[in-house]
Structure formats: C-alpha cells, structure tokens
Chains A and B, each alone.
Chain A
Amino acid sequence: MKRRRIAAWLGAAVLLPLAGFGLAAWRPALLPGGPGPAETAPEQVRRGAVLAALGYCASCHTAEGGRPYAGGRGIGTPFGTIYATNITPDPETGLGRWTRAAFTRAMREGVDREGRHLYPAFPYTHYAGLTDADIAALYAFTMTREPVRAEAKANALPFPLSWRPLIAGWKLLFVREPSIPGVTSPADPRRDPEWHRGAYLAEALSHCGACHTPRNRLGAEIRSKAYAGGEADGWWAPPLDRSSPAPLPWSRDDLARYLAEWDPMHGGAAGPMRPVVDAHRTVPADEIRALATYVATLSGPAGSRTGPVDRAVASDEPAPARGAAIYAGACAVCHESGGAAAGGVPYTTSSLGHRTSLRAPDPRNLLLVLRDGVAPREHAPGPIMPAFGATLTRAQMTDLAAYLRARFSPDGPWPDLDATVRALMPDPPPREPPGRTARAGPSP
C-alpha cells in the first residue's frame, strides 16, 4: 500500500512536469487563409520590400541560383544543416495558406501555421521586436511574391535535435523580449530619432547580433556579450563593440559607406556579409544612415586604436621571403596601387593594414577570401577580388598569410595557421576525375 503510494508520487513527479512541458510546448494549428485585399495594398507591398531587404530574408530563403524566396539554402550550424523554407505564397509548399495571424506568430514566436516550433536559425528572437505595422508590411510583400512550388528540404539534424518540441524548452531558457529603446523599452533621451531608428533596425529587423554576438553551447546568443563577435557560416563575424580589432575606428560615415557599398578606410564586405551589403542597394539611404548611426555607437569612442600597420618583415627567414615574393607577384599590382580613394584600383584600401581581417584572432576570413576571392553581386562585372585557390598550394597559401599577418598587423603570428590552411585548402588541387588520367596523352 505504502509502496504503491510512493510509486504514485514518483509517477506524478515525473509525469506532471512532462505534462507541463507538453502544455508549454503545444501550439495550436491556425486556420488556413490568405490575405484580404486591404492587406496587400501597393503601399504596404512597397514598404514591405524595403523591410524585407533590411531583414535579408532573401539571403537565407533563396538558394544559390534558385528562384527568389523559394528556400532550399542550407544554413550550416554547429548542430547540423537547417534548410531555409519556401516563403513564396505557393499554397502547397509555401505560405499560400497563411493568414496574417499565422505569419505574425511565426515572426514573433517561431511557430509555423501548423503549430510546429521553428529552429532559431530563423531569427525570431530578433523579429519578436518588430512592430505590428512592419510585420503587416512584410506579410504584404511576402504574399505578393511569385508563388514557386518547392518542397522544403529535410533538415540534417541528429536526434534528439530533430525532435521539434525540444525547441519549446530552448525558447523557455533563452527567448526574452528584445530590448529596443523607444519600442519595447523607454527611449534614450540622450539619443536622437535617427539613432533610435537604427537601434530598432539593428536589434530587430536586421538582426545584426545573430552573427556578431557569440552564442553559447546551445546556440543562443549570449546577451551579456552582445556584439562581442561571433560566427557566420564558417567565417569570423567581427565584434561591433569596443573589443573590435579594427585598425581605425568605425565612424558613422565609414559604416554608412561600408553598408552601402565599400569604405576606403576599412574596405568592403566579403563572405556572408556580402549579400547583406548587396541587399542594401534597394534600401533608402536614410535607413542605412540610421543603422550606421546606431552601430557606430556600439564601439564607443575611438580610444586606443593603433591605426594601420605596414612594417618591414625580416627577409632573412625563408617563409616570409617566400610570402613576400608571392605578395609582390600576385597581390601588389592591386594592393600597392595607392588605394581606390587616391585613384588606385577599385575596392582597394591604401594598404592592407586597413583590413580588420588581418587583425582577426584566426586566419579564416583571410584564407577564405584568398581561396575563393570576392564575387560581385549577380550580373555585376568582374570579381571584386579574384580567387587564388587554384593558383597557390597549401604551403604557398600559408607563407602568404604569415607574411601578410607579419607585415600588416601588430599582433603575433596566427598560432593555428597551418591547421586552418589544411582544413580550408584542398591539396593537392583536385585533378581530373578518376579514370580520366589513363586517357591522358599528348595533345591530339
């Protein structure tokens, strides 16, 4: 009898929290429906287009060479690959049956129309701070895109991460309403409306922290280290706070130029930041300036920046000497041209000492740019920087990176340079596919 009672208590102790969790995790499916005519008024769609550009929706929801917003791009995370979904208004495979209420719930709470929890690769932790009016405009824009029939690819996540109710637990632990001065928290009386607009964009819509804030082991942004630098798709996302290693301070005007295209004092974007800058082409200049105004205040006053470094590298050691010869033959024709601002080659700073990537804690960004170059946006002419992945071997890439670091940074050599080159560079370069070598012979 007594034993049975203990068992009952034990059972309750296990089952009640489970039931509680179940209740917390459960979200109802919402009725299918579409936008009413007023919800897709042209003015709404136009506003939504600008907001969608500033939310960089396309950079995840459009696959390489794919139809706009039809999804399918794989987002690499430390836990596995998550495939962006089709957000065109296709009724079967996209958002065609989503009402504004369903869209709003997805944006704010990360729950789809059917009631499933969405992985936080979709930055609803930031979008939770969006105003109702902006979500309505984004809904208008989304629901008036060309519908594309494209089934979402299944995520490549291991169990138990593949079990979506787990996300509800993650949300309980980590989701807090974003603090946006003037929107979700009191306005800052010392700051002007432009700064407040920038704060709203950066914290909510443009979700800068999703890359530039470090994440904990469960993949949540660490709020106490906001903007202290993070990761994006295998790239180092530099800090935007006062720990930024940029050689020169980022002024508001520098940032506005960088975010719009390119800045002569710091250079231009590469890697996952490139589509962000490309998206800004359709955004009014005052929005970019607002974003720049806010981000410039994150790093505080100029302080003790060392300025660009360009120093002599001891040439009696073989590795730097080899690196110097590669630099002279491969890089100098552009990067010693005096800088674009002084009439030199476009997109070059006056020296590579201006580039933050050479001050980075690890060489990934430099190596990825050397390997793959920096491609222009689609249909724009010429590479911004040509790729050297086929030109240089692993050893040569290592020599060049060591030389650039020694010459253009006050910091010591990268400790993990060899290992990083091995991880990022195929060596020897891929030859023709197996079976072809046998046919190789003199030219016909």
Chain B
Amino acid sequence: MPNLTVNGRTHAVAAEPETPLLYVLRDELGLNGAKFGCGLGQCGACTVEVEGRAVLSCLTPVGVLEGRAVTTVEGLGSPEHPGPLQAAFIAENAAQCGYCIAGMVMRAHALLRAVPHPSEAEIRDALRFNLCRCGTHMRILAAVKRAAGASSAVTGALR
C-alpha cells in the first residue's frame, strides 16, 4: 500500500490508493488540522500542500502522492510554537469558529512560497475559493499581509 510522506515523516498507509488524502490524514495519522467541509472541492477547508502547492485533500487520492512531500497545518508549528504565518493569524484574531482556518493558512502558505510579497489582489485571488462562514475574511487578509510584510524568512522556513 502507498507510502505517504507528511510533514517530513514517511508512513506506510493501510488505505486503498483511491482513498482521499483527507481521510488518511485524519483517520490513520491523527492529523486533524485539515477539515472535511464539502468533500467536493468547493470550500477549501481540507487544503494542504503537496510539494509546495495548495491542493484539496478531499479530492486527492492518496495513491498519487507516492514520493511527494505533503505538508499540513501541523507541519507549520504547534500551539506552543506557532509558525510565523500561524502567529500572524493569531495576532490578527483571524479565527472565529476556526473551521476554515487550517485551509486558509495552507492556501496562504503556498501563495507566500510562490510570491513572497503578494499584492492584496493576489491574496484575494489565491484565497477566493476558500470559504469562511463566520465572515472573518478581512482579518484573514490582514493576517496574510502581516506575514508577507515580515522578513522573507517568515515564510521560507519550511521543508
């Protein structure tokens, strides 16, 4: 069965290759950061990074990830030691219920890898398919801007 590398550690996965990554993360690996929202690629709550690019884990069969590095929100830091982007979300109070936030953080993280100092339009464009039902969009935007405005090391410190 497929091997899966998440946050730098490789796991032998019991699931069938067509199983969506999201279920493997949550049910097998106990990584509950990525959330199940719609299961149809419409909401972005399940967003993780594959080789530095944002993907929807609910629509990613785990079999396609052999040999490709997956990063989840747990890979950016911990509650005690949040990563810089996570710290920016905390500083801006960007989470209300928090359900969408892991997806927002990962989508923003992938953006900042590709474009270290994005314009507001670029941030909005990158996040446009990540939904937030509480309506904290303005704070999420502020958090991403805060992280992007800090030194470039902020967003680079991740494998």
Taking Cβ atoms with an 8 Å cutoff, the residues of A that contact B are: 65, 322, 325-326, 328-330, 333-334, 345, 381-383, 385-386, 388, 390-393, 396, 428-433, 436, 439-444
B interface secondary structure, majority = loop
Q: Does B52 contact A (CB under 8 A)?
A: yes
Evaluate contact between B84 and A386: CB separation under 8 angstroms: no
Which of A383, A430, A433, A441 interacts with B41 by CB under 8 Å? A383
Write out the residue numbers on chain A whose beta carbons fall within 8 Å of the beta carbon of B41.
Answer: 334, 383, 385-386
Complex formed: what's the CA distance from A345 to B63 in Å? 24
Complex formed: what's the CA distance from A444 to B54 in Å? 20
Complex formed: what's the CA distance from A329 to B17 in Å? 8
Evaluate contact between B56 and A440: CB separation under 8 angstroms: no
Q: Does B28 contact A (CB under 8 A)?
A: no
User: A428-B51, A431-B52, A439-B157 known; A444 and B84 CB under 8 Å?
Assistant: yes
Given pairs A433-B116, A440-B156, A442-B8, 8 additional interface contacts (CB within 8 A)? A326-B18, A328-B18, A329-B60, A333-B39, A383-B42, A392-B64, A429-B52, A439-B157
Task: Identify the 6 closest CB pairs spanning chains A and B, nearest first.
Answer: A329-B61, A386-B41, A390-B53, A329-B18, A328-B18, A382-B42
Contacting A at CB under 8 A, from B78-93, are: 81, 83-84
Complex formed: what's the CA distance from A182 to B51 in Å? 60
Evaluate contact between A439 and B51: CB separation under 8 angstroms: no
Return 25 A-B CB contacts under 8 Å, by A number.
A326-B18, A326-B61, A329-B60, A329-B62, A333-B39, A333-B58, A381-B42, A385-B41, A386-B42, A386-B56, A388-B59, A390-B53, A391-B56, A430-B114, A431-B51, A431-B52, A432-B113, A432-B114, A433-B114, A436-B113, A439-B153, A440-B156, A441-B157, A443-B76, A443-B77
Write out the residue numbers on chain A whose beta carbons fall within 8 Å of the beta carbon of B17.
Answer: 325, 329
Write out the residue numbers on chain A whose beta carbons fall within 8 Å of the beta carbon of B7.
Answer: 443
Q: Does B50 contact A (CB under 8 A)?
A: yes
A230: min CB distance to chain B, Å: 31
Evaluate contact between A329 and B159: CB separation under 8 angstroms: no
Evaluate contact between B51 and A391: CB separation under 8 angstroms: no
Chain A-chain B contacts (Cβ-Cβ < 8 Å), number: 106
Evaluate contact between A436 and B75: CB separation under 8 angstroms: no
Evaluate contact between B50 and A391: CB separation under 8 angstroms: yes
Complex formed: what's the CA distance from A396 to B65 in Å? 10
> Residue on A with the closest CB to B112?
A432
> Residue on B with the closest CB to A438?
B156
Complex formed: what's the CA distance from A431 to B71 in Å? 14
Complex formed: what's the CA distance from A439 to B42 in Å? 34
Evaluate contact between A432 and B61: CB separation under 8 angstroms: no
Write out the residue numbers on chain B whose beta carbons fall within 8 Å of the beta carbon of A433.
Answer: 114, 116
B63: min CB distance to chain A, Å: 5
Complex formed: what's the CA distance from A65 to B128 in Å? 14
Evaluate contact between A440 and B158: CB separation under 8 angstroms: yes
Evaluate contact between B113 and A441: CB separation under 8 angstroms: no
Write out the residue numbers on chain B whose beta carbons fall within 8 Å of the beta carbon of A330.
Answer: 59-61, 64
Complex formed: what's the CA distance from A382 to B19 in Å? 23
A4: min CB distance to chain B, Å: 70
Write out the residue numbers on chain B whose beta carbons fall within 8 Å of the beta carbon of A385.
Answer: 41
Write out the residue numbers on chain B whose beta carbons fall within 8 Å of the beta carbon of A65.
Answer: 121
Q: Does B103 contact A (CB under 8 A)?
A: no
Write out the residue numbers on chain A whose beta carbons fall within 8 Å of the beta carbon of B83.
Answer: 443-444
Taking Cβ atoms with an 8 Å cutoff, the residues of B that contact A are: 7-8, 16-20, 39-43, 50-56, 58-64, 68, 75-77, 81, 83-84, 113-114, 116, 121, 129, 131, 153, 156-159
> Residue on A with the closest CB to B68?
A393
User: A329-B20, A390-B55 known; A444 and B64 CB under 8 Å?
Assistant: no
Write out the residue numbers on chain B whose beta carbons fall within 8 Å of the beta carbon of A325.
Answer: 16-18, 61, 63
Evaluate contact between A396 and B39: CB separation under 8 angstroms: no
Complex formed: what's the CA distance from A391 to B81 in Å? 29
Write out the residue numbers on chain B whose beta carbons fall within 8 Å of the beta carbon of A391.
Answer: 50, 55-56, 59-60, 64
> Residue on A with the closest CB to B20?
A329
Complex formed: what's the CA distance from A429 to B129 in Å? 21
Complex formed: what's the CA distance from A254 to B41 in Å? 27
Complex formed: what's the CA distance from A383 to B47 in Å? 14
Which of A383, A393, A431, A441 interacts with B64 by CB under 8 Å? A393
B70: min CB distance to chain A, Å: 11
Complex formed: what's the CA distance from A174 to B121 in Å? 43
Complex formed: what's the CA distance from A296 to B153 in Å? 59
> Residue on B with the closest CB to A373?
B41
Write out the residue numbers on chain A whose beta carbons fall within 8 Å of the beta carbon of B64.
Answer: 326, 329-330, 391-393, 396
Evaluate contact between A383 and B129: CB separation under 8 angstroms: yes
A122: min CB distance to chain B, Å: 29
> Residue on A with the closest CB to B63?
A325
B137: min CB distance to chain A, Å: 13
Which of A328, A345, A383, A439 interacts with B61 by CB under 8 Å? A328
Write out the residue numbers on chain B whose beta carbons fall within 8 Å of the beta carbon of A333.
Answer: 39-40, 58-59
Name which of B43, B59, B75, B76 has the most chain A CB atoms within 10 A of its CB.
B59
Complex formed: what's the CA distance from A16 to B142 in Å? 70
Complex formed: what's the CA distance from A30 to B126 in Å? 46
> Residue on B with the closest CB to A436?
B156
Write out the residue numbers on chain B whose beta carbons fall within 8 Å of the beta carbon of A439.
Answer: 153, 156-157
